[in-house]
Chains A and B, each alone.
Chain A
């Protein structure tokens, strides 16, 4: 736990105005940061010997429709030597959701960023092959965004009254 605190302090010292929130209440430190510093921060986490977060566990999109910056990406990193984990969150506006890719730092981010693009429409600038990965190519919306219904929109035989809608 001490080293986790030290890591947060180091991040504060280096990226202070860009770090919006730090939360220790969950299973690992959750750091919410400005989208403008995300790439530098992830590079620092990976390449700085004192950080050593060499493993990108996962990366996913998220949508809070009522927030001022509704679309976000959550990155999980793992320091395999010290068995430390950290969660980085960053948010972008839904009109022009752009984030720099981290595929230059972690090859594993390639498919994960494609998935986040596929389901949330977050554009990762600099990504080598940003196209849909799981859904059909002709899908014309991003299905995990809250403004779209989860149900198949082409069905006409369902009466909304029987489905609580």
Chain B
């Protein structure tokens, strides 16, 4: 067996040749982006505890190129909202989202962030998609780290396949406008 065997990721579609590989900007930028997502953890309750396990050595989110958590929204690519968001907290979530630079993605982790969960009450926001657009929802109360990783890989899939022009499209502008952003 060849001891120098290395595992390679799957190359994007393109034209290979001796000493060169031609592909589109979309593909190569997507490949770079999806393997270096800097998440901003917005952890407010028990889903945040599950996220701590996800970040820890056992589940190890760093395997997906995300060992560098960004605690400043300015440098973050992915907003991970984990936990119950009270109505009083909603403008804070939106402000954090607004402070993030494009392109940005949002992962709603757990029942509360996705829909308000069991807290169908006057004081709790019934899902963060009322204040910011959400890309992937992770169900569970709280979800296990495997589920959070699965949600994260779904985000990677979106990031890898996104057209670099998407953020300039009128549909995307309209989406943000609907949220008053």
Contacts and interface: CB of A to CB of B under 8 A. Distances in A.
Interface of A: 134-136, 139, 143, 148, 150-155, 158
A139 B86 CA distance: 13
A139 B87 CA distance: 10
Contacts of B150: none
B124 interface: yes
A158 B123 CA distance: 17
Given A135-B87, A152-B122, A155-B120, 12 more contacts: A134-B123, A135-B88, A135-B122, A135-B123, A136-B123, A139-B122, A150-B121, A150-B122, A151-B120, A152-B120, A152-B121, A155-B116
Majority SS at the chain B contact face: loop
B116 A152 contact: yes
Interface bin, chain B = under 10
A153 B87 CA distance: 13
Contact of B126 (A134, A136, A139, A154): A154
B126 A155 contact: yes
Contacts of B123: 134-136, 143
A155 B121 CA distance: 10
6 contacts: A136-B87, A136-B123, A143-B122, A143-B123, A152-B116, A152-B121
Interface string B112-136: 0000100011111010000000000
Interface in B88-144: 88, 116, 120-124, 126
